[in-house]
Structure 1
Amino acid sequence: MGDLYVPLDHGRGGVAAQVASGLRDAVCSGRLAPGDRLPSSRDLAADLGVSRGVVVEAYEQLVAEGFLVSRVGSGTRVAPAATRDRAAPAGDQEPYHDYQSRATSPDLGHFPRERWLAALRHALTTIPSDALDYGDPGGIPELREELAGYLRRVRAADVDPANLIIVGGVAQGLSLVLHVLAERDGRPGRGDREGRADPEGRADRAGRFGRGGRLGLAVEDPTSHRQVPLLRRAGADLLPVPVDERGLDVAALRDRPARAVLVTPAHQYPTGVVLSPARRAALVEWAREADAIVLEDDYDAEFRFDRDPVGCLQGLAPDRVVLAGSVSKALAPGLRLGWVVAPPALAGAIRLARGEFDLGSPVIEQYALAGFLRTGGYDRHLRRMRREYRRRRDALVRALAEHLPEVRVRGIEAGLHACLDLPAGWDEGRVVATARELGLAVEAVGPMRFAPGRPAVAVGFSRLPVHRAAEAVRELKLRMSG
């Protein structure tokens, strides 16, 4: 490739972030097309008048984000999946391509391409032809068996493969569960669900179904604002319950007319706290007393750095808890492979709903994941990424302690993000905009709240190389104090 236009403001600082931003814009606008080869880091550094290390850092960042690929012998090129001429979203919807700003996204540059390719090849050369036909919408037996064993071993879950359903990620899993719950229990005119109070004077069950028979679903406050439209579209009326340093406030939950509750007990999003043992017991007690269901979103529990991961809530009450998980954080969101573990009374209905909606998940990928689990490739990848994410989190926390000590880091050492309480007077929106200019994955906590709270942001560290943490935090401090 010849000359490449990358605008720089040398007086502004954060040159590597500027180079990365310029190249990212070139890919998004179509000036750089999938497969285009970029100049060598040495040549581009000479053209821009910067050190070679600056360009290397920018290339590494874009490789991690999935915009570029770099291989020995073929140089650095625009990734085949990079999209050109991205259309603007309709109305005021959030751009679907803006995933680099998600605080919970993994480092896709570390996706185990060769090992996954080997798993796909093995599946294609060993599965019988009949396996490629329409199958069980709940998933192939081989994957359900492997996942059941994995969840029992790693998450202390109580799993029977017959009650495990393969889905297209946690989002689809939650949608299916809520659809089944609303359909099963939310129809008017069924028994005591017509608005009558029970003999003991407790809230009538119809009152726990919101408007028009919709399911009353308690959610954590704050919670992921990206899930809110999904939950409402699935038929839920949301009932916020505050979260404190011990997790969901179960005493406050008892005051809500909920038939189900959605929680992230292993690593609450966005605060990062863990549901305490006492609260876990109280939540299970509430579910049994209220004849309710707990939806457990186990989104990043494999990545815990301070001690072994806490067991899942489902293992305590398999008759009351639906466990939802996926490989989106461990491998890649684009695989769209997840699972739901449900009580027997619900599992059959969820499998039926899956078949009625879209007939099930891709078969070849399911066989590949089953093989990846069976051969230990999944465990080895998790161990490697756990060590790397620990290094990146530690680097971010050290940089914050040194350069922004007034920012409080909340939550346990786990997952792919940290929650930062901001100093008084700091504006969440300005922090987010400034941090994103520096290439950081940051989201404001304000839009995730139902009730007002102190300013805070969730910052992802999975794509922040160790050597960039101090520079990024220093530059953020300079810009926020300017």
Structure 2
Amino acid sequence: MWQIILKRENEISLSRQLFYAMKDMILEGQIRSGEALPSSRGLAKDMSISRSTVNEAYDMLETEGYIVTHQGAPTRVKEGLYLEKHQKHHEEALFPVITLADKPYKVDFKTGQPDVSLFPRYVWNQMMYKSFEQLSDKDLGYFGTAGYESLRVEISHWLFRKRGLSAKPQDIFITSGTTQALSILVTMLSKAGLPFAVEDPCHRGLLEVIENSGNSILGISVDQEGMKTALLEAHDFSAVYVTPSHQFPLGSILTAERRIELIRLARQKKFYIIEDDYDSEFRYVGASVTPLYSMDKEQVLYTGSFSKTLYPALRIGFVILPPKLHSEWMYLRKHLDVQNPIVEQAALAEFLNQRKLDKYIQQISRMYEKKRKALTTSIYECFGEQCSILGDETGLHLVLKIPGAHFDEFFIEKCQNAGIRVFPIEHYCISKGNHMDQLMLGYGHLKVEEIQKSVSRLYNLIMDTE
């Protein structure tokens, strides 16, 4: 009857299969409103199933309001349940297919990807287990929007050890990575009609966060000394975003003069500075750069994460805020996603407490230094004196500049066709045309033995393009 086919080998019970089939037929109008259904005994006989299976399906239909039963009367379909289906082409237009897997590349200079091959998985797994065992029942509830208290304390100690940064635990708030921190800060700091001032060029992700919040953007150009802070004087804005320790993507360090000028302007014009310290843990030449936050803890809002130092999927970051912003941050975070998962926070607190992160950073820094040397050596061997390298003293990427080159959309298409992923600096520019001769090369994830071959392939493609 009704051409319903039940699959006995299916993990879904026969009664629920029957329920789903009849529900769909009711919604599609194949079983009309008011129509009497066959008795459970009769339907069971027709479909060669037990009567109890039919009764269970009828009970589910009645519970969800698809049928009505009355003593001594046939069971009938409830009135007004026909639901017209969406047209298929409408569904495809509204919900396009998204491919999650990366396209395979022969040469991949993507940025922001650390090498997780040396990550101590066994140690981390042990700490996850131990941390979960030690958590109280209260910890497993809605324990706190600010973050796990022990982790906030350990981050405070870690920042002091590694960056010379003094921050109180109560000023540190745990986030699901830097992107979430920036998203909340943009909402907090937005002033009607005023743009957010950002470095130009700048990370595309930040620009999208600002634009998606309905705010406008003011690009401030960057040179070898960082953001040209003098250009801020003539404008009013909601806040200023900077990467002073390793400008993304050009790699320059904001000079002391410009840091002072930026803070003076922030105090004078009463705006906040968002400092994104995204990869300065990896410093290969000279001492680590002191964060801007150390110069003014009231005007500078410091953001960091463990995506590069541990692994991106961990999704734990933090922001340091002055007391006057605590309550608003807590309100916005609570109504966004309440809190980070507790077990990972507890494990990270223990990882920091035992100095495991300090040792791991030392280990992977030596590995990244080898990759950096292999990359810079290969670049000079292939390109010779015609090129220059920028921003390679810190982080997991560098900038290759070839005077006279023109890295446009045609070049990118040619790279993709050749199986090479590389990003021109122009991709990150707000004002176009000033960095056409520069490419950003990420190397954190590359294998040392593959770097020379990868650079050679890029060189051959560039020469062929010219």
**1:460 — aligned with what?**
442
Select 1:343's aligned residue among 305, 322, 327.
322
Deviations along 1:307-349, one digit per CA (max 9) or x if unpaired, are: 2211111111000000001001111111110001011111221
Counterparts of 2:299 and 2:444, CA distance in 1? 33
CA contact (8 A) 1:164 1:347 kept: no
**2:459 — aligned with what?**
477
Select 1:253's aligned residue among 208, 226, 232.
232
Select 1:165's aligned residue among 166, 173, 181.
173
**2:151 — aligned with what?**
143
Counterparts of 1:110 and 1:391, CA distance in 2? 14
Q: Is the counterpart of residue 370 in structure 1 residue 370 in structure 2?
A: no
Counterparts of 2:189 and 2:100, CA distance in 1? 29
Pick closer, same or farther for the CA change 1:104–1:89 going to 2, 3 Å: farther
Paired AA for residue 281 in structure 1: I
CA contact (8 A) 1:144 1:164 kept: yes
Question: For 1:129, what is the secondary structure of its paired residue?
Answer: coil
**1:281 — aligned with what?**
260
* 5+ residue gaps, structure 1: 1-87, 187-208
439-448 or 370-379, which deviates more: 439-448
341-350 or 428-437, which deviates more: 428-437
Paired AA for residue 360 in structure 2: H
Counterparts of 1:155 and 1:265, CA distance in 2? 14
* 5+ residue gaps, structure 2: 1-91
Pick closer, same or farther for the CA change 1:412–1:438 going to 2, 3 Å: same
Deviations along 1:420-450, one digit per CA (max 9) or x if unpaired, are: 1234143344554566677765222112112
Select 1:219's aligned residue among 168, 181, 198.
198
Pick closer, same or farther for the CA change 1:94–1:137 going to 2, 3 Å: same
**1:179 — aligned with what?**
187
CA contact (8 A) 1:416 1:460 kept: yes
Select 1:411's aligned residue among 391, 408, 411.
391
404-413 or 453-462, which deviates more: 404-413
Question: For 1:180, what is the secondary structure of its paired residue?
Answer: helix
Counterparts of 1:302 and 1:363, CA distance in 2? 25
Question: For 1:151, what is the secondary structure of its paired residue?
Answer: helix
Select 2:332's aligned residue among 348, 353, 360.
353
Could you tell me how far 1:98 is from its partner in structure 2?
Answer: 3.9
What is the aligned residue count?
366
Could you tell me how far 1:242 is from its partner in structure 2?
Answer: 0.5
Pick closer, same or farther for the CA change 1:96–1:237 going to 2, 3 Å: farther
Could you tell me how far 1:258 is from its partner in structure 2?
Answer: 1.5
**Structure 2 counterparts to residues 74-473 of structure 1, below 5 A:** 97-98=101-102, 102-182=110-190, 186=191, 209-210=192-193, 215-405=194-384, 406-429=386-409, 432=412, 442-451=422-431, 452-455=433-436, 456-473=438-455
Deviations along 1:140-163, one digit per CA (max 9) or x if unpaired, are: 110000011111222232311111
469-478 or 142-151, which deviates more: 469-478
Could you tell me how far 1:277 is from its partner in structure 2?
Answer: 1.1
290-299 or 146-155, which deviates more: 146-155
The sequence identity of aligned pairs, in percent, is 29
Could you tell me how far 1:358 is from its partner in structure 2?
Answer: 1.1
Could you tell me how far 1:361 is from its partner in structure 2?
Answer: 0.6
Question: For 1:358, what is the secondary structure of its paired residue?
Answer: coil
Could you tell me how far 1:181 is from its partner in structure 2?
Answer: 1.7
Counterparts of 1:141 and 1:342, CA distance in 2? 16
Could you tell me how far 1:224 is from its partner in structure 2?
Answer: 1.0
Runs of 4+ residues deviating >3 angstroms: 88-102, 428-441
TM-score, scaled to structure 2? 0.74
CA RMSD of the aligned region, Å? 2.4
441-450 or 411-420, which deviates more: 441-450
Counterparts of 1:410 and 1:91, CA distance in 2? 42
CA contact (8 A) 1:267 1:274 kept: yes
Counterparts of 1:327 and 1:93, CA distance in 2? 31
Counterparts of 1:248 and 1:307, CA distance in 2? 22
Pick closer, same or farther for the CA change 1:428–1:402 going to 2, 3 Å: farther
Paired AA for residue 471 in structure 1: K
CA contact (8 A) 1:259 1:290 kept: no
Counterparts of 1:396 and 1:89, CA distance in 2? 44
Question: For 2:199, what is the secondary structure of its paired residue?
Answer: strand
109-118 or 263-272, which deviates more: 109-118
TM-score, scaled to structure 1? 0.72
CA contact (8 A) 1:232 1:238 kept: yes
